[in-house]
Amino acid sequence: MSTLTSPGPGTADSPRPAGALPGAVRPAHAAPAAGGPVTAWSADPYTVALRTGRGPLYLRRDDGWLLPLDVERWCEAPDGADLTVLRRCRGSVLDIGCGPGRLVSALAARGHVSLGIDVSPEAVARTARTGGAALHRSVFDSLPGEGRWETALLIDGNIGIGGDPAALLRRMAEVVAATGSLIVECAQAEADVDERCEVRVADGRGALGAPFPWARVGPAALTRHARAAGWTPAAHWTVADRCFAVLTRGTGTP
């Protein structure tokens, strides 16, 4: 899972996967908000959960509301719902907030040029250990091959990155090729939310990360934000209570 800013370098000297799309890397993009997201995802309790491969782990609002994070699933091989995403990936694939790298590694095994980005050093290291390529980078930093990725992924709730889905979708329009697609996982269809909030990573036992902005959107809200940012909804489906959508730039195909 990725967040707003990254202490990693934003230069063309950063490593890239073998066969990655060439091209100049643009100057770093400013994130839409500042604060503590890097600390939140780079230290306990998130790092501990990734190292052990176990939860419990939550996003916690100040009012006590908790959103469970499925660490165990993230650290395992792709499940049936994930496979429906992998089958829709075309060409080179960028996974935004790749976490421990299950999708990046699976894509590499399928022969895709694939790269994950994440602001958690532990997530990047774990991705490398499972055969994937990843950078310690935020989506709002300069990225290799900007404007040339054929598929990008915002899975496991990562449409919430930065607490501003519209800004994130506009940024993704800069990253993805004009004929490319963006695959997004949103909140379940029966919970059509459009929420902005401040959260912390929590382990349910008292440990808390730094506060940072987050968002949750359901399918209808995703459609509204996507169209406003120049994306065209091309497909949607639900598997195992997980809800997905494919967005295109208007000339791509899902």
- Asked: is 37-248 a CATH 2.40.128.260 domain? The reply is no
Is-cis flag, bond preceding 45, omega within 30?
yes
What residues of the chain score a pLDDT lower than 70?
1-44, 250-254
pLDDT at 16: 34
pTM of the model: 0.83
Structure tokens at 228: 């406003």
Q: What's residue 5's pLDDT?
A: 28
Instruction: Give residue-wise pLDDT tens across range 183-192.
Output: 999 998 777 8
Q: How far is Cα 166 from Cα 172, in angstroms, rounded to an integer? A: 10
The pLDDT value recorded for residue 41 is 54
Burial class (CB in 10 A: 0-12, 13-18, 19+), 213: buried
User: What confidence tens digit (pLDDT) does each residue in 182-229 have?
Assistant: 999 999 877 789 999 999 999 999 999 889 999 999 999 999 999 999
Distance CA 59, CA 216 (A): 11
